[in-house]
Chains A and B, each alone.
Chain A
């Protein structure tokens, strides 16, 4: 097994999980989906600089080989922005739940409490 395979497969799994959760009906699941999807996107962007071991982009006179610093810089801000986005979506979901009493993404009236189980509604 190579690192390339590990990273590529991890990206694939995260994307699949992210898409599936983002399509759910409850806001919190959508937030989780976006989080997974963001991990995948950040990893993908980072991987575009290719995988390099033990060559951090810290300049030194004695070193000639470095990993690509540019994707790292882009991903660094992307991580922080991801946090901003997640936080905003979470709060939006919270406010809409407080406002309507429903945590359905489209504001539909769905049961939010009570016991676990298949409750009524199809879609």
Chain B
């Protein structure tokens, strides 16, 4: 547990950095890259502190219970495998940050770039340090998402957007398969804890679920690591800025699949199915992609295919299920990360300095870019597997293992194909270096511009290349202990005896290696002829196939949706109401018994009966006259008034206040909306339809009315309200029990409700704010006054009355708010009253006049309201009480006397702000567009009148 804090900080650092960068998005590039670099550097230091113990055999881990019911714990652990990957992620991350700082052009959104990059780094660290397979999945998905943002960083470029979408579709789809596979794995192993799963390999392999979970997990790994036939997304992801390619598409994200194969090696590897599938997929990918890489022309495309090929090699090695092969894979992961990231940066430098990445236009750059040429040549030599570089050793180890595997019963198949793949990789590596830097320049223009970049841009790649060289010269010293420990972690035991060295004497691997080098040189020599031959064969375009498949799926999904779902609101509502009615009938038949209960009723007073009759009549009028829309609003307000009176009568003063003020706001809203809607449109329903709906409506009314009657004529029985009444004053500090329930006992509900209301307000704003554009805008501009209007647009009496009313209403609002805890009132009601006061100003004096004098922003009011309410809730947690626990005390002030302050009042302030903001935002925006339309119409009328006057004049 000693390392718990270190582990949490390690994983949290990149996310914190991402947040900080996003908050400082207006800052300069140096700020953004500085924060990102500092976070990566600090992470490296933390990791360095863990290196000693981890290599020494300790496995620091830390765990927080997250969703224990699902077996999901926030468990982090660092074993040598995780350590190596975390080192790569942070180390190369730091170099990429430095490189990107110099690479990005002026004026680019560096804040967005580095924030996404850090988000990705955090997700990647999460994958390699996760100690729970479900947690690993969370981070796995996060890498897909953040890589989507990074690939599509240049949003204005179509290939960036398409590449990002394709990568997301493929890796995200694989992620779905992986979720299934991991859940099955957890079920088969009986735990989702990684350390436990790793110990239960035999149990998992014996499980009947094994073939299914193996298949699903492999799909996840193969899509992420761009294995055939899922490889096609990677070349298209090259539309990303080069630092992203160097980071995601060579060193880290595409290795996530390889990492997972290595991570689960003790559990999954060793079976016939595993060995055959994984090694043949790796082998095919390696040979196929190496061949394609030889004939690509875009530098980054060459590197992309070479990456696919090298990933294939890693997958194949892990697929062998041999301990020494796993060791070779571990070493090659290190090598590949070093030389490939360096090469990507070189591609970026060349692109940056010459303006092109087309290898056919470049050449002879060694003269003008000597430093870059040296770095690139060494890195490419390591990729080719030439001695004395790191790549040579891992390739030798690989070739040495190939005769031990007989795929499909053919002992020669793997060695031959692996040598073929190695030959092609020598070929494309040599071509990359040779065609770029040596020979004669092919085109003058890029060559003239070319020069070595500043040290900041080449230093990161130089460092990586130096690493690649040292991995060849002093492999045991540099990587021996690490490779040993990591291999031990992969195979789940002690690593086999090994010696990393350039010279092992003459053996089969050396001979195969020499064949590959000779073949590669031959390929380079005859490249022009081979290219012609390659071009003459038709190649399938993976992108077009992908898009055809997507289009096909899209069409059929649409057809299926239309087939099962009729997009008619009327029909859906009819079904809904019909089903509800059927359920009530069914329940009534089931329950049996009398409808009327035994509870005696309360005789109604005469005024109550009159009010009831009024309401029935108003409802009938609404239904009967529903097309005379303005008149209907009068009837609706009669109903609302009677409902409020009912609340008064039945001991609910708070409800009555709320109902009456909501009524005012609703009618104002409907009035404003009606101004722009048709006022009395023609009938469109047919008679049979009316009869049908009428029958259903009558049935529903009788049934629900009967239900209410049955309920009201029976006693309430035991309720939980006694608790609320008993504790309102003592526990909540207020005598208005309804208000105390809202802001204290059930404050969580209220919090949710104000958030909903805030969202509704914002959604209304969004709907109206964009209504001025497009066809809606055109229709608004054509809007015509179709109601008789007063010639005075802002009647003087109304304006003056509303201004005098404003302070009075505000006072009432404040009064209602302050007394809310003890007497009818509170945040909801006060907010509605205050909103009405302001809305009156909009109506009386016009939107523009009022808007100019407005000193607050409704958006902020909503945000502050929700934040204040939440902060009140969190405040109680700071004192160790559960979320939203309230407290109160009594204070005495001179003149005022004793008064009470409750934290619930603060919560109620949040309620007040949110409700006020949402109501004002909705109505003010509506009145804004409606008055704008009216003004445009008036101007048009005036212009026409002028024209007529001028026409008449002569």
Across the interface, A103 reaches (CB within 8 A) one of B577, B622, B636, B681, namely B681
Q: A16-67: which residues lie under 8 A (CB-CB) from chain B?
A: 16-32, 35-36, 39-40, 42-44, 46-60, 66-67
Contact call A20/B709, Cβ cutoff below 8 A: no
Q: B542-599: which residues lie under 8 A (CB-CB) from chain A?
A: 567-570, 573-574, 577
Residue B14 is within 8 A (CB to CB) of chain A in the complex: no
Contact call B601/A2, Cβ cutoff below 8 A: yes
Contacts of B698 in A (CB 8 A): 16
Question: How far is it, in angstroms, between the C-alpha of A76 and the C-alpha of B431 when the chains are bound?
Answer: 76
Question: How far is it, in angstroms, between the C-alpha of A79 and the C-alpha of B795 when the chains are bound?
Answer: 33
- Output the least CB separation between B638 and chain A (Å): 11
Residue B686 is within 8 A (CB to CB) of chain A in the complex: yes
Contact call A21/B650, Cβ cutoff below 8 A: no
For chain A, give the interface size range.
35 or more
Q: A64-115: which residues lie under 8 A (CB-CB) from chain B?
A: 66-70, 72-73, 75-77, 79-88, 90-95, 97-101, 103-106, 110-115
Interface residues of A (CB under 8 A from B): 1-32, 35-36, 39-40, 42-44, 46-60, 66-70, 72-73, 75-77, 79-88, 90-95, 97-101, 103-106, 110-123
A3-B601, A115-B682 known; A12-B706 Cβ under 8 A = yes
A69-B737, A72-B738, A77-B749 known; A90-B712 Cβ under 8 A = no
Contacts of B715 in A (CB 8 A): 50
Contacts of B651 in A (CB 8 A): 52-57, 66-67
Of all chain A residues, the one with the shortest Cβ separation from B623 is: A17
A80-B753, A81-B757 known; A11-B738 Cβ under 8 A = no
Question: How far is it, in angstroms, between the C-alpha of A28 and the C-alpha of B923 when the chains are bound?
Answer: 17
Q: B709-732: which residues lie under 8 A (CB-CB) from chain A?
A: 709, 711-713, 715-716, 719-721, 724-725, 728-729
Contact call A29/B626, Cβ cutoff below 8 A: yes
Most buried by A among B683, B716, B742: B683
A53-B651, A83-B665 known; A39-B643 Cβ under 8 A = yes
Most buried by B among A8, A103, A115: A8
Question: How far is it, in angstroms, between the C-alpha of A56 and the C-alpha of B825 when the chains are bound?
Answer: 13
Most buried by A among B715, B738, B763: B738
Number of interface residues of B (CB under 8 A): 119
Query: Which of B313-321, B475-483, B769-777 sits within the interface?
Result: B769-777
Contacts of A99 in B (CB 8 A): 774-776, 779
Residue B615 is within 8 A (CB to CB) of chain A in the complex: yes
Contact call A91/B673, Cβ cutoff below 8 A: yes
Question: How far is it, in angstroms, between the C-alpha of A23 and the C-alpha of B694 when the chains are bound?
Answer: 9
A21-B626, A25-B684, A87-B764 known; A95-B771 Cβ under 8 A = yes
Of all chain A residues, the one with the shortest Cβ separation from B639 is: A39
Contacts of A6 in B (CB 8 A): 604, 608-609, 612
Task: Give 13 CB contacts A-B under 8 Å.
Answer: A7-B708, A9-B612, A11-B708, A12-B704, A57-B737, A66-B737, A84-B760, A87-B922, A91-B926, A93-B673, A99-B779, A123-B685, A123-B686
A17-B697, A19-B697, A68-B719 known; A98-B779 Cβ under 8 A = yes
- Output the least CB separation between B722 and chain A (Å): 9
Contact call B647/A46, Cβ cutoff below 8 A: yes
Contact call B763/A88, Cβ cutoff below 8 A: yes
Contact call B738/A119, Cβ cutoff below 8 A: no
- Beyond contacts A11-B705, A87-B764: 20 other A-B pairs, Cβ-Cβ < 8 A, are A3-B650, A5-B709, A9-B709, A16-B700, A16-B701, A19-B577, A19-B697, A22-B573, A31-B670, A40-B704, A52-B651, A66-B725, A81-B756, A83-B665, A85-B760, A87-B666, A98-B779, A100-B775, A105-B570, A120-B684
Across the interface, A8 reaches (CB within 8 A) one of B705, B775, B779, B828, namely B705
A91-B767, A91-B768, A98-B771 known; A72-B652 Cβ under 8 A = yes
Contact call A39/B705, Cβ cutoff below 8 A: no
Most buried by A among B570, B647, B651: B651
Residue B396 is within 8 A (CB to CB) of chain A in the complex: no
Contact call A92/B767, Cβ cutoff below 8 A: yes
A44-B708, A59-B729 known; A113-B678 Cβ under 8 A = yes
Residue B658 is within 8 A (CB to CB) of chain A in the complex: yes
Residue B662 is within 8 A (CB to CB) of chain A in the complex: yes
Contact call B705/A15, Cβ cutoff below 8 A: yes
Contacts of A21 in B (CB 8 A): 622-623, 626
- Output the least CB separation between B236 and chain A (Å): 36
Of all chain B residues, the one with the shortest Cβ separation from A44 is: B708
Contacts of B742 in A (CB 8 A): 73, 76-77
Contact call B603/A1, Cβ cutoff below 8 A: yes
Contact call B828/A76, Cβ cutoff below 8 A: yes
- Output the least CB separation between A17 and chain B (Å): 5
A4-B713, A10-B615, A19-B696 known; A53-B602 Cβ under 8 A = yes
Of all chain B residues, the one with the shortest Cβ separation from A119 is: B682
Binary interface profile of B, 642-658, with partner A (CB < 8 Å = 1, else 0)?
A: 01001101111111001
